[in-house]
Amino acid sequence: MSYDLRDFIADIDGVAELAHIEGADWDKEIGGITELVAEKGGGLGGPALLFDDIEGYPAGFRILSNSFGSIERTRIALNMSSDLGPIDIVDAWRKEFSSYEALEPEHVSGDAPVLENIDTGDEIDVTKFPVPQWHEHDGGRYIGTGCTIVTKDPDTGWVNLGVYRSMILDEETISLWVAPGKDARVTMEKYHERGENCPVAFIAGLDPHTWIASMSTARRQESEYDIAGWIRGEPIPVTDGPETGLPIPADAEIVIEGEIPPVDERSCVDGPFGEWPGYSTPAHDETPLIEVKSVLYRDDPILLGQPPLKPPAIYTVGIPIRTAGGVWNQLDDAGISGVTGVWSHVIERPQFLVVSVDQDYAGHAKQVGIAAATMPNGIYGGRYVVVVDDDIDITSLEDVIWAMSTRCKADDIEILDGLYTSPLDPILEDRSDNRSSRAIIDATMPYKGEFPRVNRFSDEYREELVEKWNLDEFGI
């Protein structure tokens, strides 16, 4: 059974997690409303937003934003049980993902929904969609935020899906900013070394399973379509793009097919753009671009908008499964015992990573902190790693700060220097040298040492009081 973006919208609407907004303008209004709502409740309180009757565009040409920015919407998107708490979801995801069974996509023939409208030649106009200017200082309208890019390795035939930003340049051209070393960039350069343009399919409205899979890391030479099928529990239906032959989701909302020419033949200026650290990055020149060959879209198409926002607003998913789950698995794989939880605060990157540990030996907590900071999922853009005891709620920033303030002396903080970071790190002085420092903060009680007892009733007694006095009426 297919599950598309429209099914997801119906599901979140059914649990009162969706707000309908009509008449907003694409020029900053939609972006501003999204920012305000996503910030509500520390980034986990506002509903998803479905915009319709957008100024200057036909009714039915819609935008969905703040799509996964709550615990409940994340559960639905991950196809997980509603009785799991945040740490339980990270734990379940990382255990299952470490041994997921790939489920290859299923090619479908006939009238796929995405082929309801096919524009080629003089009909091509990507500005027909109500693409917003998402941030106040952006250099243009970004059609690529909640998107995925489909490429195929010319040597092996490996189909890769990845999330990269893209700005409208004109009716027939869009940018594609891909950092060096990323899979799409490597594939693109292989074509260019052969003197060929790189075929690409740009998906601008797709189901949550495929989008989340596109942000994940598949096994080498295994497609993210296989992860999406595993998340859904059945194969993702795909059809061949009429211009590129690349497999595209059969029930996608909008697909742009095209080619990426070598940068030395044709390139563009992309940006400025508000990125995930919470800052507007400067414009990038010599950015690859896509020459559009066809535009495919469903009747009444829906653009999936996932613009990066200043923290604490959530722009990916409400639970940091990729960073926290990845670090947790990698600590386990390294044979480090006692880890009881991992969480990422501020943004779904390891800028402020928290690990809880049940200490087994002296120096255990510091070992965990240093290891977490240097694990593959913990190193890219990392800044602080805080290690706490397992009585601390690592999903609560207040609880973590309390542990830091009472269980750690300032001179106990360790600094690691010269570690790999993201080129988007705003503090870098030389962006050609992607290295920065890390702080390892041991906020645990001394191993086998005297320490005051925490001033708090036991969980068991608290539960008795809630039941006896109906304290759940007070939201407790």
E strands present in 76-209: 106-107, 117-120, 142-144, 148-152, 159-162, 166-170, 173-175, 198-205
Mean pLDDT value across the chain: 93
Determine how β-strand 414-420 pairs with β-strand 435-443.
antiparallel
Q: Is the pLDDT of residue 474 over 80?
A: yes
- C-alpha separations of 275 from 134, 160, 309 in Å: 11, 23, 7
pLDDT band at 427 (very low <50, low <70, confident <90, very high): confident
- Tens of pLDDT, residue by residue over 204-244, are 999 999 999 999 877 878 999 999 999 999 999 999 999 99
CA 462 – CA 169 distance, rounded (Å): 59
CA 142 – CA 303 distance, rounded (Å): 11
Q: Is the pLDDT of residue 469 over 70?
A: yes
Question: What are 352's two structure tokens?
Answer: 């402020």
For residue 315, the model assigns a pLDDT of 79
233: left (phi over 0), alpha (psi -120 to 50) or beta: left
- C-alpha separations of 229 from 146, 147, 215, 357, 371 in Å: 19, 18, 14, 34, 32
For residue 348, the model assigns a pLDDT of 76
CA 166 – CA 45 distance, rounded (Å): 28
pLDDT band at 45 (very low <50, low <70, confident <90, very high): low
pLDDT band at 109 (very low <50, low <70, confident <90, very high): confident
pLDDT band at 380 (very low <50, low <70, confident <90, very high): confident
Residue type, 298: R
Cβ atoms of 261 and 128 closer than 8 Å: no
Determine how β-strand 18-22 pairs with β-strand 48-52.
parallel
Question: Looking at per-residue confidence, does 62 or 449 come out higher?
Answer: 62
Question: Looking at per-residue confidence, does 43 or 33 come out higher?
Answer: 33
Minimum mean pLDDT range among 218-232, 262-276, 330-344: 218-232
For residue 44, the model assigns a pLDDT of 65
- Radius of gyration for the alpha carbons in the chain, expressed in angstroms and rounded: 23
- Mean pLDDT throughout 67-86? 90
CA 200 – CA 47 distance, rounded (Å): 33
Q: CB within 8 A of 273, min separation 6: which ones?
A: 135, 138, 139, 142, 165, 167, 177, 280, 281
Determine how β-strand 339-345 pairs with β-strand 352-357.
antiparallel
pLDDT band at 42 (very low <50, low <70, confident <90, very high): low
Residue type, 271: G
Distance from the first to the final alpha carbon of the chain: 40
132: left (phi over 0), alpha (psi -120 to 50) or beta: beta
Helix 326-333, helix 86-97: angle, nearest 10 = 60
In sequence order, the β-bridge partners of residue 280 are 274
Q: Is the pLDDT of residue 1 over 90?
A: no
CA 435 – CA 416 distance, rounded (Å): 11
pLDDT band at 269 (very low <50, low <70, confident <90, very high): very high
- Closest by Cα among 227, 232, 205 to 215: 227
What structural domains and CATH numbers belong to the chain? 5-304 (2.30.110.10), 321-443 (3.40.1670.10)
For residue 243, the model assigns a pLDDT of 97
Question: Looking at per-residue confidence, does 433 or 19 come out higher?
Answer: 19
For residue 5, the model assigns a pLDDT of 98
Task: Write the DSSP symbol of residue 337.
Answer: -
CA 389 – CA 340 distance, rounded (Å): 9
Rounded to the nearest 5 percent, the helix, strand and coil shares of the chain are: 30, 25, 45
Minimum mean pLDDT range among 6-20, 190-204, 218-232: 218-232
Helix or strand (DSSP H, E) at 297: strand 289-297
Minimum mean pLDDT range among 58-62, 94-98, 337-341: 94-98
Q: Is the pLDDT of residue 103 over 90?
A: yes
Q: Is the pLDDT of residue 43 over 60?
A: no
- Closest by Cα among 221, 217, 207 to 100: 217
3-class DSSP assignment, residue 380? coil
pLDDT band at 447 (very low <50, low <70, confident <90, very high): very high
CA atoms lying within 13 Å on the CB side of residue 209 = 26
- Mean pLDDT throughout 443-467? 93
E strands present in 75-183: 106-107, 117-120, 142-144, 148-152, 159-162, 166-170, 173-175
CA 300 – CA 249 distance, rounded (Å): 17
